[in-house]
Every structure is written in C-alpha cells, then in structure tokens.
Amino acid sequence: MTIRLALQNQLKKDMEKIPKYVTNQNGLKLTFDPARGLYVGVDDKKQEWIELIQDTQVPMFWYNCPNKMEKDGKEKLCNVPNMTPIFEDGQKKFCTGCKKEFTVKLVVSEEQPCHELLEELRKEK
C-alpha cells in the first residue's frame, strides 16, 4: 500500500468519527459539511466561519485558491481557502468558492514535522 493510499484511508476512518458540531473560538456553533470536508457556520452578521477538521492524524492545510476572477471590473485572485489534506499535493481539485479547477502546490518548511512526509508523497508519483 502506498503512503498516499494509507493517508486517504486514515482520513476516511477519522471523518467517520468526527463530531457533527463544534464551537469555534467566538462561541459560534459550526456544522460539519461533508461536501466541503470542513465545519461551517454563519454568525448574526451573515459572516461565514469555517474550520478544519481537528480530529485526524492526517496533516491538513488551508490552500487558498490561486484562480483569477473578475470582480467589480477588476481581475483578482479568488483566494478562497480550501481544506487540503497533505496527500492532495500535486493533484487537481475544484475550489469551493469559484468552482474552478486548480492544482494543489503545498509549501511546507523543512522545520515542519510533515515536511518529510510531503517529500515522500512527491516521490511516489
């Protein structure tokens, strides 16, 4: 079994056990959204709050969408944060915001504990 497949299986097992609801640092109740793979809640001001899954052994990252989009007549980056498990590095995925495809290119410093794991995953390709 490859490292990538083992991590995918671990995340699947972990997601079966996660709580349906969590409370964020502001006391807002967030609900797990399986389609997005993260917790989501909206406050009184209609501001959406999102959080990564905490109860997993798989390293998870926020990866901001690099796609360009037009807003108010100007070209800007989409920049919506997408939950990205380490095993999705180098893979194509669709942004939860703009719905356009992009390739995940994680940047992990050598000091991070998961740096070596990322390097091993890249060698598997």
In this prediction, residue 4 carries a pLDDT of: 95
Length of the chain equals 125
What pLDDT sits at residue 53?
80
Structure tokens at 9: 């299986």
The domain limits of the chain are 57-124
Question: How many other CB atoms are there within 10 angstroms of residue 21's CB atom?
Answer: 11
How far is residue 18's CA from residue 50's CA, in Å, rounded to a whole number? 15
Given this model, what pLDDT does residue 125 score?
66
Low-confidence ranges of the chain (pLDDT < 70): 125
